[in-house]
């Protein structure tokens, strides 16, 4: 069975009827976190849940969503919101503005889990130690571990992994041969061959877990939401764009939203949970008058609740590609193109990895020269210090927010990236990759000085599509949600998605978002 059509009968509830119903919980955003919450909360037949999603049902997403190697083209489809950053910083005023960066995020049930590269990896345990700097209580790696385990059935059976969760995760059985050559090159140059690089406990290089089951993508909608759709206590409304949150005093009591040009309202007697992601969740709070006072006034939004941290702390993993041409033919991908990663330290004195090396079986587009046959080694600083902002320019919920992740504005991120480039080049020169007749095309072997490599990093990077932080978790004055994910100073309102991550994990982020949502479901059940 083509799992992409497993939800083909997904009904969208009637907004008119929904307005006449009484819901216990309204979940705004049907991405990874929203699917988890809708499924977990409705396990209790007495809890009535409405899930609102601005995009389409699963069956209306592009056919390519189901097929793992096709994910690279999904950014050009309606399954992506199509966000682009403001011009990024070039490093010198003399160089003018830097590039605008595409920032893909999913639009449709499953959210970004329906368009991402399907990597399912926990951040290394040391990366979560930074969350305490914001006053977050009970959010260490060990605190999150039961929720990580709850999400997954990990086929590799490694220590600390889940055995009965909705997501079936495993490395690809047959990585592309060129990627295996790169893995051999990493080991040859002295790096550790890890066993379970996805579990959060190891450093080194290994095939990474993927959300691919029987040759098809497994999104959050597939794993969590679809099995829950027949429950009478769950309604789902698609093509529903949230306009603003509704309040009675300090308590959030509902949501105003639009479908096909019509405006509807719906009420929740217990809670509203915002799960629209690092961009959508902050935007909804700001459009509702919750955020920094002066910025709201400048945007023409009436201030309802002053909360200076909303939209601050935006950060992401940039990724810089070293593109190689090979004389030997690289065969088409069987998996997701990027099946092997490395986690390592840019400096030996660090207490954990701050750098990822990613092997990709395609020569990605680059600013130097087109390459028809080859591979790419991606370099990403995993614990970036650079911080940016998300702003709105009006109260119009359909207007795109202004996104400035401020990539590479902190020179420490450049230093980490240059360390990664040095490592990547050493791997590419090792005998196993070199046997493919490998030639570096971008930035090119003649680009060796620090200034030129830094300039390449600042102009040739892309987003790794892991934005976080705009509704940061913690207990300090710039935190947006407290340690139970409740919006500070308000009642009946939580945020539970990647926006609450105060400091990005040292790996891909989707596994962490699933765990946050699992924990949020437990918080909500306990508060009943």
> Residue 254 and residue 277: Cα distance in Å, rounded?
19
Alpha carbon distance 115, 426 (integer Å): 32
Q: Smallest Cα–Cα separation from 283: which of 394, 151, 439, 128?
A: 394
Question: Distances from the Cα of 467 to the Cαs of 99, 104, 313, in angstroms?
Answer: 17, 10, 10
Q: Which of 134, 224, 206 is nearest to 515 (CA)?
A: 224
Taking the C-alpha atoms of residue 402 and residue 184, their distance in angstroms, rounded to an integer, is 43
CA-nearest of 213, 276, 164 to 6 is 213
Residues 6 or more apart in contact with residue 449 via CB below 8 angstroms:
none
Token readout for 465 is: 């599509």
Catalytic amino acids?
Answer: 466
Phi, psi (deg, nearest 5) at residue 424: -60, -40
Please, which residues have CB within 8 angstroms of residue 341's CB and are 6 or more apart in sequence? 119, 121, 197, 205, 206, 208, 356, 357, 358, 359
Task: Give backbone dihedrals phi and psi of 426, rounded to 5 degrees, phi first.
Answer: -65, -40
């Amino acid at each position: 069975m083509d799992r992409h059509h497993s939800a083909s009968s997904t009904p969208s509830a009637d907004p008119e009827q929904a307005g006449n119903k009484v819901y216990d919980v309204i979940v705004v955003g049907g991405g990874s976190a929203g699917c988890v919450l809708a499924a977990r909360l409705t396990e209790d037949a007495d809890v009535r849940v409405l899930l609102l999603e601005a995009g389409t049902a699963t069956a209306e997403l592009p056919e390519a969503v189901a097929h793992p190697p096709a994910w690279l083209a999904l950014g050009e489809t309606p399954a992506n919101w199509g966000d682009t950053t403001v011009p990024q910083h070039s490093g010198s005023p003399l160089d003018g503005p830097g590039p605008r960066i595409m920032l893909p995020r999913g639009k449709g049930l499953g959210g970004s889990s329906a368009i991402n590269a399907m990597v399912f990896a926990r951040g290394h345990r040391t990366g979560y130690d930074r969350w305490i700097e914001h006053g977050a209580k009970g959010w260490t790696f060990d605190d999150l571990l039961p929720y990580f385990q709850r999400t997954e059935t990990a086929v590799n059976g490694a220590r600390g992994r889940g055995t009965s969760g909705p997501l079936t995760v495993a490395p690809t059985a047959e990585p592309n041969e060129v990627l295996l050559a790169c893995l051999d090159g990493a080991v040859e140059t002295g790096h550790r061959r890890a066993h379970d690089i996805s579990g959060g406990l190891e450093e080194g290089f290994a095939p990474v877990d993927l959300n691919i089951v029987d040759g098809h993508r497994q999104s959050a909608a597939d794993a969590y939401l679809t099995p829950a759709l027949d429950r009478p206590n769950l309604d789902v409304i698609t093509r529903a764009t949230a306009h603003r949150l509704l309040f009675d005093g300090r308590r959030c009591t509902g949501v105003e939203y639009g479908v096909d040009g019509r405006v509807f309202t719906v009420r929740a007697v217990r809670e509203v949970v915002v799960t629209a992601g690092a961009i959508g969740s902050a935007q909804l709070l700001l459009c509702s008058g919750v955020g920094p006072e002066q910025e709201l006034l400048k945007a023409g939004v009436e201030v309802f609740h002053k909360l200076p941290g909303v939209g601050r702390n935006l950060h992401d993993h940039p990724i810089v590609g070293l593109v190689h041409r090979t004389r030997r033919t690289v065969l088409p991908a069987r998996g997701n193109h990027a099946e092997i990663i490395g986690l390592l330290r840019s400096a030996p004195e660090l207490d954990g990895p701050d750098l990822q090396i990613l092997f990709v079986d395609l020569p990605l587009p680059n600013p130097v020269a087109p390459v028809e046959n080859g591979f790419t080694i991606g370099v990403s600083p995993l614990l970036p210090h650079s911080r940016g902002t998300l702003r709105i320019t009006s109260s119009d919920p359909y207007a795109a927010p202004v996104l400035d992740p401020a990539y590479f504005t902190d020179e420490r991120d450049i230093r980490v990236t240059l360390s990664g480039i040095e490592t990547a080049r050493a791997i590419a020169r090792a005998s196993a990759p070199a046997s493919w007749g490998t030639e570096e095309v971008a930035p090119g072997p003649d680009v060796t000085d620090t200034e030129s490599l830094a300039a390449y990093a600042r102009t040739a990077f892309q987003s790794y599509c892991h934005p976080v932080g705009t509704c940061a978790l913690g207990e300090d004055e710039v935190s947006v949600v407290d340690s139970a994910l409740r919006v500070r100073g308000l009642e009946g309102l939580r945020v539970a998605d990647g926006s609450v991550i105060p400091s990005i994990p040292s790996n891909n982020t989707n596994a962490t978002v699933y765990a946050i949502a699992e924990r949020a479901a437990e918080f909500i059940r306990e508060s009943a």
